Amino acid sequence: MTVLAPHTVAAVSSGPVRRFPVRALQLLAGAAVVVAVALRLGTGAVLDGVRAVSPGALVVALSIGAVTTAASAARWCVVARGLGLRIGFGPAVGDCYRAQFLNSVLPAGVLGDVHRAVDHGRRAGDLGRGVRAVVLERVAGQVVVVVAGTVVLLAIPSPVRGLVAGFGPVALVAAGVVVGLVGIAVLPRVRRGLAGLVAGTREAVLTRRSAPAVLGLSVVAMAGHLGLLAVAAIAVGVRVGPVELVPLLVLPLLAMGLPLNVGGWGPREATTAVSFGVAGLGAQTGLATAVAFGVLALVSTLPGLGVLLLRGGPAIRGRSGPGREVSSDGRR
């Protein structure tokens, strides 16, 4: 669920994907969070999370993954068509499965979506719009998660509501500072890309035709992720009602959108441990739940491995069609 960062978008739009120190720092931060949580709570909770995954839970994970992937693919189709790009629902589902699998097994957490954007853009003959379609699709989904998640956390009485109210303003200020520093560091690279994204938002996301579809599909995808978190909690042995459980799962769902992870691992584990600890369920139980979710989430993307084997893996340079070579800047 990590959103493509602006500097990543600019790099893809302008040519081959480059390695940025910012991305390296993000990976190091995510790894540090995982190590710190494991050292603090012990590896026993990690093993408990892995052992809790049953065959039945794996089947449910694959079913939920099919729903969320279909919703994401449909949302991508809506956004892409709003930008004037052709994409069929079937191919979009396959591309999304492949992207999710690559996001899960590669450390950066977004390389699958980078490949999806580049591949579709080159096949469509317009690399820039292909990248914008994927970025807008992902950002739209994350905005819905943030807004809906915040409403849930503030509306439903729970132990984590005070946590959010207390640390929310601090987190917003910190996020603003980070975004500002990154923006200053990479401004020459992202200015053109951001202008295109603003225009694309008006054309493909906020129209009367596309906005309801994007909103509805994003809610379905969010519900699927929450459902998978609930399956993980139940597998670990958490026995509380939905009203008590949902706020505890929304917090890690929000954390999953932070670009500080290694294949999805990092803030998710820390926030789940904190929310379960605050609720009196035990931080170790929270960590076990997050680990079980990580395993189930990976399994839910396994159809993407089949797509990867059939269609081939990521390739930054390629063709947009038979006999039609596309250069690194998207021109024929």
Most confident of 40-54, 55-69, 111-125, 185-199: 55-69
The dihedral through the CA atoms of 7, 8, 10, 14 has a sign that is positive
d(CA 204, CA 210): 7
Q: Which residues touch 313 (CB under 8 Å, ≥6 apart)?
A: 102
Q: Which residues touch 322 (CB under 8 Å, ≥6 apart)?
A: none
Q: Report the pLDDT value the prediction gives residue 243, as an integer from 0 to 100.
A: 87
Q: Report the pLDDT value the prediction gives residue 267, as an integer from 0 to 100.
A: 82
> Given a cut of 60, is residue 40 above it in pLDDT?
yes
Q: Report the pLDDT value the prediction gives residue 242, as an integer from 0 to 100.
A: 87
User: What letter does residue 3 receive in the DSSP assignment?
Assistant: P
Written as six digits, the tokens of 26 are 């993000």
Q: What is the largest CA-CA distance in the chain?
A: 62
Residue 207 has φ and ψ, to the nearest 5°, of -85, 165
Written as six digits, the tokens of 64 are 């939920």
Tell me the percentage of the chain whose pLDDT exceeds 90. Answer: 30
pLDDT per position as a tens digit, 276-293: 988 889 989 999 999 999
Annotate 193-224 with DSSP letters as a single string.
HHHHHHHHHHHHTSSTTHHHHHHHHHHHHHHH
By CB atoms closer than 10 A (0-12, 13-18, 19+), residue 134 is buried
d(CA 132, CA 193): 8
> Given a cut of 50, is residue 332 above it in pLDDT?
no
Q: Which residues touch 157 (CB under 8 Å, ≥6 apart)?
A: none
> Given a cut of 90, is residue 215 above it in pLDDT?
yes
- Find out whether 161 and 153 touch, Cβ atoms under 8 Å: yes
Give the other-Cβ count within 10 Å of 179's Cβ.
12
> Given a cut of 50, is residue 11 above it in pLDDT?
no
What are the domain boundaries of the chain? 20-311
pTM of the shown model: 0.77
Pairing of strands 324-325, 319-321: antiparallel
**Helix, strand or coil for residue 265?**
strand
Adjacent-strand bridge partners of 265: 262
20-29, 116-125, 146-155, 235-244: least confidently modelled range: 20-29
d(CA 50, CA 293): 9
Q: Determine the average pLDDT of the residues in 71-91.
A: 92
Binning pLDDT at 50, 70 and 90, where does residue 327 land? very low
Q: Which residues touch 101 (CB under 8 Å, ≥6 apart)?
A: 112, 301, 302, 303, 304, 305, 307, 308
Q: Which of 186, 131, 152 is nearest to 16 (CA)?
A: 131
d(CA 20, CA 25): 9
Binning pLDDT at 50, 70 and 90, where does residue 254 land? confident
Adjacent-strand bridge partners of 321: 324
Q: Report the pLDDT value the prediction gives residue 17, as an integer from 0 to 100.
A: 43
